[in-house]
Amino acid sequence: MLDRRHLLLAGVAAMTAGSARAAPAPEQGARLTAYLDQVMQEALQLSPQLMTIAGFDTGANAAAKQRLDDRSAAGLAQWKAIFDRMARELARFQPETLSGIDLVNHRTGVYLAESTLRSFDFKFGDPGVGGAIPYVITQLTGNYRNIPTFLASQHTVATAADAEAYLDRLTAFAASLDQETERVATDFARGAAPPDFVLRTTLVQFAAMLAPEPAKSELVANLVSRTAAKGLAGDWQGRAAKLVAEEVYPAMRRQQALLQKALTTTSSDAGCWRLPDGEA
């Protein structure tokens, strides 16, 4: 499952690419197109995962294929800065001077910036492109779910360098799990924990993911099958299993333990009204 942030940004990339191919625009429209392209370039530089999804993680951008997005509080602050600038810059345009796709693009950009910035008003959960979700980790959200799917469906393995980059991303996966764990621990301390039935379902998923021995985990099996299909020689299973055993599984268990501890204190109340600023 790809997360909402990357799907929306990929949509914006398509929008800006489409406008760049349109008929010559008046001065305001051309300036808007150029600015939206600049925003997309900033987002790509901040998101190696978006680079991969867009197919740009090659050539000069090949190093992006070795990394994952920064899921720390500092990483989120960098995203907020992009949309702060975007809101200010789009306010400089005069919508009445725009028409056609230029007006659509401006309205879309304004909405995206405003809705994203509103998502940062809450001091918990997962702010992001187009809106927030109240919990970083649930049965539906979190990198423990997103990254295995991303590696299987988006990270191409055609060369030995691609396979090496996959191994790098396993190490990055463990780091991203710990980044999310740190944020979730802060959220829980603020009184923003999911209801108990969400935690139970999430913990069932953690148990299922941690059940296979590392060499037989989904993360390892995916790399082994794809390198074999391409005839890429190497101890891919052994090296990947070592990373899963020594880095990924321990990070997942730290996250699992935090959720297990929260289960002893949270309630079955599901409404966001019970969260800090929940009525808002």
**pLDDT tens per residue, range 255-280:** 999 999 999 999 999 988 888 888 88
| pTM, 2 dp | 0.89
The whole-number pLDDT of residue 248 equals: 98
Residue 199 above 60 pLDDT?
A: yes
What is the predicted pLDDT for the residue at 74? 96
Report pLDDT digits (tens) over 6-65.
645 555 554 454 444 444 446 889 999 999 999 999 999 999 999 999 999 999 999 999
Q: Which H, E and C letters describe 53-119, residue by residue?
A: HHCCCCHHHHHHHHCCCCCCHHHHHHHHHHHHHHHHHHCCCCHHHCCHHHHHHHHHHHHHHHHHHHH
Q: How high is the pLDDT of residue 115?
A: 93
Please report the pLDDT score of residue 160 as a whole number.
98
pLDDT band at 128; cut points 50, 70, 90: confident
Kindly report which listed range (87-96, 98-107, 122-131, 227-236) carries the lowest average pLDDT score. 122-131
Predicted confidence at residue 194, as pLDDT, reads 95
